[in-house]
Every structure is written in C-alpha cells, then in structure tokens.
C-alpha cells in the first residue's frame, strides 16, 4: 500500500471546508478602545469577545501589569517547580481561593491546559469520565488523552449522567461539565449533578470559564450561585481570560486534590509559569470583580434588554440568562451572510458553524459586556432584524450603502454624546 501524501490530505481537507463554507479566517485587530476595535481598517463595535466585565483595559489592571513588568521582567522564565513560582503567583492563588471559597488554587497557562491537567492526573485506562455532550473541546480532548473510558450524556440531563455512570460500575469515576456552555449560554444543572456524583461516588469537576466573575454572590461563579461548595464540587476551573480580562486559568478545590495536581499534572510541571506581571494584572482584576458590583448589574440589565428587544423582533434566541446570547440562523450560508451585514453596519459578531455547534444550528454568538451601552444593544438588534428579514426574502443580507451609512452615523453620534457626557 502506497504511503499517503500529507500535501494531498491537506488539500482535500481544505477543498471540503471551502465547499461546505467552513473555512476559518483570522482577523487582525489593530487597536482596542473600550468596546470598539479597529480590525482590517474597519472601526467596529465588538459583540463577540469575552471581556464580560470590561476589565481588560481598566487603568488599575494595566498599571499593575506595567509596574510589575518594570520591576520583575516580561517572562515567567521557568516552570513553577523549578524557579518560576513568583510571589505574585502565590498572592493571586491566595486571592482566588479566598474569593471563590476553596481551600487552595493552582495557576495554569490556559483553561485548555488546566483541563488536560485535571483529567490526565486523576484518571487512567481503568477509569471512566462522564461528560455533557456539549462540553468544551478541551474536556473531551483531556479524556481521550488520559486513555480513560469516555461516556457522554445528553446535554443538561442528570438522568443521562447517572445512566452513563452506572454503565461502568468499576474504576474511578469523574463527572465533568461546563458550568456555562460557551455556545448556548445556558447553565448546567449543578445541584442535580452534584447529587448524581455523590450517589455514584464520582468526583465532580466543573469548568466555570464563563461563570466566574459574572454569576453568583460577588461574582464567585456558577458553583456558588447553585449554593454548592467544595464538599459537593471538589474541583472547579476559573479562567482568567474572560470576565477577568487577562490570560491563564486556575483550578480550585480540595487541598489534597490540588496538591496532587501540583506534583503530578504534566501540563503544570512541564511548562513555563505565567509572567509575574500577568499575575499582578489579574490580581488587580480580581479585586475589582469582587467589589465593583455595578459591572454585573449593568451586564444583567443589558442582557435583559437585548433579549426583550430581540424577542419583539422575532429573532430566534436560546434559553440563556448569561451574557452569551446566540441568535440561531440555521444553515451556514445564512449565518455568514448575516454576520457580513452586521459588519457592514459597524458591528462585529462572529458566525459560529459546525463542528463547533451541531449541524443545522449555525448561529451568531452575541456576547455582551459592561463596556456596552443601551444604544449599542438597541442598534445591534435593529441591524440583526433587518439582516434576518432580507435573508428570509432571499435578498442579500448586506444593506444598501445609504442604510449602512445612516447606521454608522448614528453609532458615531451616540459615541460622541457619550464622550461629551464623560467630559
């Protein structure tokens, strides 16, 4: 049998993506200014980022980054267990643990690495990992790389989870779920899953990447919002790159389990630590997230307004009370056309297509931030409705030049009024 050509395989895969309208294109952001971005020479209002609390550009966060970098340098220089563990890392881990309400926290370079670390350090080929069908790709990859038996249950279905756990009665068991699902915006039934885990003697691990900072008392996240603690959820993940506006992640939980990860998890042992300056910036962001409750209040108000106005226009939404508000489009071509129309009108919303979401469930993933204003949300909904209507009539979703110019001028005028009030 002839050896397969890597070049032919790449070209064939590319041709398939082109035919299915599923090519992926990177966009280059030249400048960020609040909720506005300059991308490919276009000034757009960004509705597809994860800076939920608007902390990524906060002056206190930036000052902490710059000040620590000037004193401690730009890099992490080594892994934590060699000579890379800095006092700033220690301070951030303590602050995170106190905030979330866990005995201990452990920093990682990203949420992806953290998920790989947890599953691989705790499970082997005699173990079972039971996961929600819509879990993040990093959790699925983690189970596959660990070599354990992976079982998946229907989305948000605790009864499905217990059936899967009962189907593999031997070996260690871990029940794993996203808390807030990144493409749907809904929240996992954590209290029911905690009961399932207790009955089946499984370790419950909750990835709260999109909940920490946004949900729960003082922004402590989905686990706290469900009135659960370490006894019910021994491990949870908090990302540092979404509501906290920085980079990296932390796993928080039971002292013994975190200690085990620190000594055995390959993605922790064999990688360079976060730069101390980044840890300092995140520490500043955590303190703001804990105390500036108005950011979450504003975010809830904007979310409610978006949903109310979108439903009045008949836009198809999903059941979500979080800042993630998907607008269902159905087929890929329609999602792409609507995203293009939005961009032409001055709004940046990403079209999400399979395999990231199920077939026939392409969508525009709208995400809201405390940086947005009421006028921003209202304008977005108006353009969404117009783009939807044009695609339903079989017309190009992009609007004519006069309509686009009028919308862009309205946005610019609103920005000017806000700047005048600020002065």
Q: Contact 88/279 with Cβ under 8 angstroms? A: yes
Closest CA to 273 of 296, 303, 250: 250
Q: How far apart are CA 22 and CA 15, in angstroms?
A: 10
The answer to whether 313 is a known ligand-binding residue is: no
> Interior CA angle at 211 toward 207 and 213, to 5°?
125
The answer to whether 7 is a known ligand-binding residue is: no
Element (H, E) at 291: helix 276-291
Q: Contact 142/265 with Cβ under 8 angstroms? A: no
Ordered strands of the 149-153 beta sheet: 104-108, 249-253, 235-239, 203-207, 173-178, 128-132, 149-153
The answer to whether 367 is a known ligand-binding residue is: no
Name residue, tokens 């809201």. 368
> DSSP class of residue 216?
S
Q: What are the phi and psi torsion angles at 184 (to 5°)?
A: -110, -30
Q: Which residues contact 200 (CB under 8 A, 6 or more apart)?
A: 162, 165, 166, 173, 175
The answer to whether 182 is a known ligand-binding residue is: yes
The answer to whether 239 is a known ligand-binding residue is: yes
The answer to whether 155 is a known ligand-binding residue is: no
CA end-to-end span of the chain, whole Å? 73
Element (H, E) at 383: helix 374-392
Q: What are the phi and psi torsion angles at 323 (to 5°)?
A: -65, -10
139, with CB counted inside 10 A (0-12, 13-18, 19+), is buried
The answer to whether 68 is a known ligand-binding residue is: no
The answer to whether 356 is a known ligand-binding residue is: yes
> Interior CA angle at 307 toward 241 and 47, to 5°?
35
Which residues carry a binding-site annotation for substrate?
A: 24, 136, 356
Which residues carry a binding-site annotation for pyridoxal 5'-phosphate?
A: 111-112, 182, 210, 239
Which residues carry a binding-site annotation?
A: 24, 111-112, 136, 182, 210, 239, 356
């Amino acid at each position: 049998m002839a050896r397969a050509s890597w070049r032919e395989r790449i070209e064939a895969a590319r041709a398939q993506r082109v035919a299915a309208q599923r090519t992926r294109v990177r966009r280059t952001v030249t400048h960020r200014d609040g909720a506005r971005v300059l991308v490919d020479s276009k000034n757009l209002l960004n509705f597809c980022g994860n800076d939920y609390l608007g902390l990524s550009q906060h002056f206190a966060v930036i000052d902490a980054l710059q000040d620590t970098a000037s004193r401690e340098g730009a890099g992490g220089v080594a892994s934590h267990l060699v000579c890379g563990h800095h006092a700033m890392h220690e301070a951030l881990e303590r602050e995170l643990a106190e905030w979330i309400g866990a005995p201990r926290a452990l920093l990682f370079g990203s949420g992806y690495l953290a998920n790989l670390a947890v599953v691989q350090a705790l499970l082997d080929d005699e173990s079972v990992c039971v996961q929600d069908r819509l879990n993040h790709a990093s959790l699925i990859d983690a189970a596959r790389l660990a070599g354990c038996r992976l079982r998946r249950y229907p989305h948000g279905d605790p009864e499905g989870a217990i059936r899967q756990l009962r189907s593999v009665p031997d070996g260690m068991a871990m029940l794993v779920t996203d808390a807030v699902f990144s493409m749907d915006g809904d929240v996992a039934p954590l209290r029911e899953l905690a009961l399932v885990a207790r009955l089946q003697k499984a370790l419950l691990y909750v990835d709260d990447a999109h909940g920490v900072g946004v949900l729960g008392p003082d922004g402590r996240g989905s686990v706290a919002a469900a009135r659960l603690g370490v006894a019910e959820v021994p491990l949870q993940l908090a990302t540092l790159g979404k509501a906290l506006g920085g980079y990296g992640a932390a796993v928080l939980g039971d002292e013994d389990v975190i200690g085990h990860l620190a000594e055995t998890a390959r993605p922790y042992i064999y990688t360079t630590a976060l730069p101390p300056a980044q840890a300092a910036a995140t520490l500043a962001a955590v303190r703001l997230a804990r105390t500036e409750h108005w950011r979450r209040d504003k975010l809830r108000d904007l979310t409610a307004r978006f949903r109310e106005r979108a439903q009045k226009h008949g836009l198809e939404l999903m059941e979500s009370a979080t800042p993630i508000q998907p607008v269902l489009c159905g087929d890929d071509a329609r999602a792409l056309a609507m995203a293009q129309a939005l961009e032409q009108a001055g709004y940046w919303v990403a079209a999400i297509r399979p395999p990231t979401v199920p077939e026939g469930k392409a969508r525009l993933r709208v995400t809201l931030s405390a940086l947005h204003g009421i006028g921003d949300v209202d304008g977005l909904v108006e353009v969404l409705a117009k783009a939807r209507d044009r695609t339903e009539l079989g017309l190009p979703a992009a609007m004519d030049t006069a309509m686009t110019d009028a919308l862009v001028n309205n946005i610019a005028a609103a920005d000017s009024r806000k700047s005048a009030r600020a002065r």
